[in-house]
Structure 1
């Protein structure tokens, strides 16, 4: 599907984004609005999430915004009616948070997802749904790159609850004939991400430290390998999978070129033009749930829908830094 195909697919279509005031959801909303889609956002504005109303700056008068939780069946029934596509990005994504408050994590990522799917089945079974999964379901990799056939051994409650959420989507595809797809996302970065603390991502916190003129704190020896996706690439994957017949009922890895954390920190400092880093011991509560080295095999989504990452890491870092220098009072 080409760029022109994407534009034609979403023009004047009704699109629902759950978690739409968050990092990925808001960037998706901006893109869909630019494509001429009729966008509705549902977000409960949980202070522990990435939700930030400033993320909708510039499109707030164009979109429809509903403050609601996905567990609210009556509100969600109204929201899903008549929608052509749903990008289901509502979720609890903090790994530490899932260990500190496991029942909240379960309620959002498992129970809430099942309730939402039932609402869709009863009110709009024709809707096309893409669910935001996570590479965390794999746990510590047995081999690299990790493909979709890798054993699932999550190390934290978040990985378990997200696995349940993704499988509910696949069950509703296989049993009820609904159009659903799962994208297992890796480290996503870009404008509008939460950077005020280390609750959700290490990358966001690294950018906070860099912008505040502090050393980037790297846990361990910094040789851990990760793959990273710029948010625009993730949005393109979402748009392709919602509309492509080959994606229905599939689970896909996203991914990018592997890089170790030392090299990532050095590149961030280089692009910023200043800064430093320090190696610090792993906190025990993080060390016990760290996955070690990880990078994903994204050949399946590349074969099925033609997706591959396009934004080079240096360019993505430059874009992000420019955004936060302009709007840092809303994020730091």
Structure 2
């Protein structure tokens, strides 16, 4: 397999790259290394001589035309992930999560129409759940600019599949955690800040605490990406990818402290500016991807948190 990964130096992209390299794939990584978006050359430590790295931006349509040529599969994982940033700077979110997706698909259409495309979408597009667990038939009602633009990007991928025959699959990912995720701030996930604070001996703050979430280990996420790329059945499909375990944030904080062997937890009132775009309770129904591709999460939440703490105790300096 010749695989191209946008956002390849980021959290999910670099973990995927490691899996593909281990299986003998020829892997090319595209990343802009814009500081706000999580790309980090340390993420490919140990495999740097086994991947090709192209430092470019998915907003640059000219570089994409060259890069998609000859590739078997494109894992399209580049994106702006911060919900608050999307509200503060909506034009940038539009450029990355919406307009750039058209450029990527146009590059595929004109220069490699036989490429297989796996698009990393988000559970955020569902908005505030009307029922739980959320399946793929749930109404789509984003609560922030990020969700609107990710939904548009998702629709572009499905449209290019229907109109131009590009084999595209959409994976709506829940809260993915694991080694190589961003921990310097909450732009990628709140758990990153929690991990950093625990290792630094600082209290972790839980806002509200009653909100239910499902947490997906990056190993399970990568399994879903690879299975989707290998299956003809997944072409044109949308799949939820989430954990079978749900937990409220207060209990998640307590579990993390327990796994860490100590720490302090502070419960705070949910900030007003964030509460207006919070989705409330959410957890995933992933029955469809299990039925079609045989995928199911395998890593327990406790094991996932233990792996996170072990990785960042060793490597925190490279991420802050």
The match for 1:49 is 37
Is 1:267 the equivalent of 2:220?
A: no
Shift of 1:89: 0.3
244, 249, 257: which one aligns with 2:231: 244
Q: After superposition, give the CA deviation of every residue in 1:77-132 in whole Å (9 maximum; x if it has no partner).
A: 11110000110001111100100110000000110001100000100011101000
The match for 1:112 is 100
* Other structure's SS at 2:37 match: coil
Shift of 1:224: 0.7
Is 1:312 the equivalent of 2:300?
A: yes
* TM-score normalised according to structure 1 size: 0.95
Q: Distance in 2 between matches of 1:32 and 1:199?
A: 26
Shift of 1:199: 2.1
* Other structure's SS at 1:302 match: helix
- Alignment check: 8 A CA contact 1:95 1:200 kept: no
* TM-score normalised according to structure 2 size: 0.98
Q: After superposition, give the CA deviation of every residue in 1:258-307 in whole Å (9 maximum; x if it has no partner).
A: 11111111111111111021101111111111000000110000000011
Is 1:227 the equivalent of 2:218?
A: no
What is the number of residues matched between the two proteins?
319
136, 153, 158: which one aligns with 2:146: 158
Runs of 4+ residues over 6 Å off in structure 1: none
CA RMSD after TM alignment: 0.8
Is 1:29 the equivalent of 2:35?
A: no
271, 274, 291: which one aligns with 1:286: 274
Q: Which segment is superposed worse, 291-300 or 208-217?
A: 208-217
71, 75, 83: which one aligns with 1:87: 75
Q: After superposition, give the CA deviation of every residue in 1:39-74 in whole Å (9 maximum; x if it has no partner).
A: 000001111101111111111111100011112122
Q: Distance in 2 between matches of 1:157 and 1:287?
A: 15
The match for 2:190 is 202
- Alignment check: 8 A CA contact 2:74 2:117 kept: yes
The match for 1:148 is 136
* Other structure's SS at 2:316 match: helix
Shift of 1:141: 0.3
Shift of 1:322: 0.9
- Alignment check: 8 A CA contact 2:133 2:284 kept: yes
Is 1:329 the equivalent of 2:309?
A: no
- Alignment check: 8 A CA contact 2:174 2:216 kept: yes
* Other structure's SS at 1:82 match: coil
- Alignment check: 8 A CA contact 1:17 1:41 kept: yes
- Alignment check: 8 A CA contact 1:126 1:178 kept: yes
- Alignment check: 8 A CA contact 2:181 2:188 kept: no
Q: Distance in 2 between matches of 1:200 and 1:325?
A: 19
- Alignment check: 8 A CA contact 1:186 1:254 kept: yes
Q: Distance in 1 between matches of 2:52 and 2:129?
A: 41
231, 247, 254: which one aligns with 2:241: 254
* Other structure's SS at 1:76 match: helix
